[in-house]
Structure 1
Amino acid sequence: MTDDLPDLPDFDERRTRWAVRRGLLRTATLVIAILVAVTVLSTLGSRWIQQRGDREDRMLDVLGQALQIANPGYVIVQDECCDTSLTSMGFKVAIRPLRAHGGFFVGGSFADRTFDVEQSLFGRVKSPPMGYATETSLTYGLYNVGTGNQPKEQSRKVLARLPEDMNALAVVEFAKPLTVEEAQAFRLRHQVSPTRVVYENRPRATPITWGVGDFPTPMPKDESEVAADFALELKGLRGWVATLRDYDEANLRPFGLDLARLRKVAADGLAYAYVDELVTVKKLRELIEDPLVRTVRVADLSYDLERP
């Protein structure tokens, strides 16, 4: 019976070597294809998980605004959104110090610095850029709200030495906290435009502030309307705080904020001071004589070279 079996072919070393190589190539190709597919699916899956629902908008609203409140001495512009990786999602911000109006203005593309703000796959913010309590000349002025430093007598002397037609960036502190109605009456009487409003008495620390350009303040439909408005600013602050949830607490803490403070400030709605980047020295000399004003602190000066 064994005579019926075909003869085994002679061993061909070359053909065997090529067969082994083909087998290895097929295995490697299959492994690479599986790895690529897993990577693509993981990336798409991670992106879908991180971008599902309103996670992108919420990240911008919560983290972007927290960064601005933590750094009131800067103009912070959300420059680009969103960068998504396997483990995080983030956006870019462009920053520049807030200066007296009339100086050289730079937009987001020409900002002093840019930073990335990122949150993890689980929605937790990574180390925030700039941290908080970053110091500028304006920040020092805000630190002094409620301290009694630089009283009226001293501020009058400072203002007397300055040309009256110079533009100033100043912190105007009230003698007592004003309700929104009282602040509005003050604004209309003096025709001032608050850039940021200070809603907290927190001496030697960064107080909670809100600016008219912050989310989600509705801008006036008519450009002739005054955008810098105490009522509008308070509406924006309260609108933002109302969107915050208890689980946002963990993301607010790295910025030096917490929900209890924010909710109390929004509920009280009292203006302790305001920042003005559009005021002249002449106007500040007028404001400091108002009994509602405790003092005025000049943080920056500029001269409008285009003024006739």
Structure 2
Amino acid sequence: MRWLDGGSPAEVVAALKDVAPELGDYPIVVREPVGDDDPLWRSATAVVGERFVVKYAWSRPAALRLAHEIAVLEALAIPYLPEVVASSTDPVLLVTRLVPGQALFDVVDSVDRDDAGRQLAQFLGELHGADIGPLPPAALQPATTDVLRNEFIKWARPDQRAAVVRWCDWADEVLATPRATVLVHADLHGGNQVWEGGQLRVVVDFETAGLAEPEYDLRAFPGTGPGVELLTATMRHYTHLTGRELATDRVMAWHLRTALGDALWRSEAGVPLPDHRTPQAWVDDLAERFTALGIDPGLSATS
């Protein structure tokens, strides 16, 4: 396996001419890299001829993630996948067809929640039922509850701190008993979905796909759009389509770790939260979501 020496446009063009010579003369617009301080994030994308997307890496950790995505896409045959035009591990490069549309984050207020939930449930049902051979466990990203108890607490208001600790205790109880694992996307937030005219066109970024419980894939849904309608619609359609129940408390336990973990690292790094509000506001949002779903995380999960 070989990766690029750097992320310059010239290196991308040279690699593209190796992997897909027919695209090498198209104009290339390199998007802002994900990051270059940590080798894990030394990757980026470029748009080729306004028709294709190229993903590439310039470190071993980033290249391993991209090579994993290539292998997953080659093995899967389900709806809503990106169309692979070319791929290679020497150098590591993935070329997919560009799909016009917008991220779910940008259109969630205008889509029909029930219909959107049906489409997402179709994707999740197909993905979770896929068998593509041996896979590693997904790298679970949310901060641990110990980290939240010890470090997030200083970003909460004094009147919120006891509740955050109780929520963490509750999440530990909920997730104490493991569930059977399935193939999950593992990073299914609104930015990795392309929508157009109320229709889900494609789901992208399978670099972290692996084995985890199905509820892990819905951990971002409670915070996507106002209320929890997208989550409840997706879960309802998922059960109808697959015959498999999803546990709301497990989704919310993962969501708690995800939301507060995101607020924590951003606050400590001086990076604005995605909606430019405060960690305290996010704690208030979590309380409202628990109430809307009829969950009292102040009580024992087994009571």
Normalising by structure 2, what TM-score?
Answer: 0.27
More helix by share: 2
More strand by share: 1
Higher relative contact order (CA 8 A, sep 6+): 1
